[in-house]
Amino acid sequence: MRCMLIDDDIPTVEALRGIVNWDEFGITEVQTAHNIQDAKQLFDSGEPDLIICDIEMPRGSGIDMIQWTRERQYEGGFIFLTCHESFSFASKAISYNADSYLVKPLDKQELEAALRKSIELLKKKIMMGEYSKLGLAWLKNKDLVERGFWSDVLTAAISPRMQLIQSEMQKRELALSVHTDYQLLLVSVPRSQIERVWDESIFHYALSNLISEILISRVSLGRIIAYQADNVFYNAILIESGADMKWLQDSAEHIIQMCRQYLKCTATCYFSEKAAVSGLSQIKAELEQLDESNIIFRGKVHDQNEPFHYDTSERFTLDIELFTLLFVQKEKAQIVNRLKKELELLTSLNKLDSTTLHSIREDFLQVVYSLLSRQHIQAHRLFADEVSQQLAQNAESSVFDFMKWAQALTDKTVDSIKQVLQSEGVVERAKRYIHDNYAQDLSREDVAASVYLTADYLAKIFKNETGQTVKEYLNECRIRAAKQMLIESTTSIGDIAMDTGFDTISYFSTVFKKLTGETPIAYRSKHRTVR
């Protein structure tokens, strides 16, 4: 067997060559490279059985190397070395099937353990290949066919009639029976839990792998269905009736624990009652509905027949007067902290159900919209950006998502009100917008929208400060640009009118003469003669 060592630190490479008894692991040749380019040349001259590679190097990372080799169908072992732990690197390493991830300074025992693990995996791959490559392909295809069948059942792509389901089982040559009952285990992770930490496709892969490793002893891969609905990652697991309930409960709790520890997210598990194959699509919809209504009981295992119990004997009402006062005082931190305390109190008293959270959101929006209206700020324009809309869409999914939305809403509202109260700033921004866009078909409403104000209110403060209407200022900008073009170019009067934002030559000429006292032709003739 051959091994390749890749590290830009030459002493590290030499140390690795020296501290390991390579013959003990059946490795007869050790090649070395100090950058990715040299490593690729060595690789092309003959694939090694095992690669030990530093992740962080100046001329290409270890992630680049493993991606490059896997794209060439390389199935050998891969061990990563790094100076410090990096969650981002580790997640990518998982996605490319790295065997181990070791942190420097290297411990000899850990390194040898990692080598043994890689060698054993290589031997298994070789053995399986010798048994039957066709057999492996058949097993893999069998799981894909069964997974496709269950996916069609759960989404009702196959009509939930026993005769049609039986026909599909026979058509796909699956050793299944329509007379077997199943339980559905649904694992849920909100997308907001993994934002800024994971790439979505890598997370999907990692979550499915984690679940399959925990359940693989009793559940085939063909019965673990990963999918995404709205803003939630789901894994639906089909379990034949008669399975040990204690094992199921322990496995679900293990999934939640491993997700928290390794994937840095909060998973929630839901068990269904036993059902025939024809009833599974309805069961799946009911579990998804249960997950949607789960506001404060996340990170736990739930049974379909044990609904969440909230104390709704007395409905909560947000103190609108208090929050209005805090907004007027522009106390962003106090607004968010007070709202957070209210939600935490309701959670501790088991009173925060989806209805209550929706009510709090509506009251909070009432405060915000009322204040924005007083300042003539148009809320639909202020919150029109994609981030604000996404936060608003997720706001009622959980307390975590609600607070993210409330924080962003508070920041934008208070900052916008501050800008309006400093009217000079608003007028200056409006003037700058006119300067940048005078050549366009620009209206008073367009200028007002650029500073999130109503057209009437902007017109009022603009006139007070500049002594001009928005239209007069816009025409002044256009004529100033036209004067320069008349002197410095040979462009026709008609084209200059169009290029400076006027609809017609006649209107351009009227405005030009009003502001300069001359027609455009006379102005061009006079000033060109002077020049």
Which pLDDT does position 39 carry in this prediction? 92
Residue whose C-alpha is closest to residue 219's, from 270, 175, 185, 269: 185
Q: Which two tokens stand for residue 418?
A: 């501050």
Which pLDDT does position 335 carry in this prediction? 94
| Strands of the sheet with 50-54, listed across from one edge | 29-33, 2-6, 50-54, 77-82, 100-103
**Residues of the chain falling short of pLDDT 50:** 132, 134-136
Which pLDDT does position 477 carry in this prediction? 94
Question: Can you tell me the distance from the alpha carbon of 377 to that of 457, in angstroms, rounded to the nearest whole number?
Answer: 9
Phi, psi (rounded to 5 degrees) for 79: -120, 130
Which pLDDT does position 105 carry in this prediction? 79
Beta bridge partners of 7: none
Name the burial class of residue 170, with classes exposed (0-12), middle (13-18) and buried (19+) by CB atoms within 10 angstroms of its CB.
exposed
Which pLDDT does position 121 carry in this prediction? 85
Question: Can you tell me the distance from the alpha carbon of 244 to that of 249, in angstroms, rounded to the nearest whole number?
Answer: 9
Residue whose C-alpha is closest to residue 39's, from 23, 19, 61: 61
CA 502 to chain centre: 45
Helix (H) or strand (E) holding 116, with range, is helix 108-131
Phi, psi (rounded to 5 degrees) for 34: -110, 5
Which pLDDT does position 86 carry in this prediction? 63
Dmax over CA atoms of the chain, in Å, equals 101
Which pLDDT does position 81 carry in this prediction? 85
Question: Can you tell me the distance from the alpha carbon of 319 to that of 339, in angstroms, rounded to the nearest whole number?
Answer: 10
Which pLDDT does position 434 carry in this prediction? 93
- Tell me, what DSSP letter sits at residue 219? S
Which pLDDT does position 102 carry in this prediction? 83
Q: Which two tokens stand for residue 45?
A: 């001259």
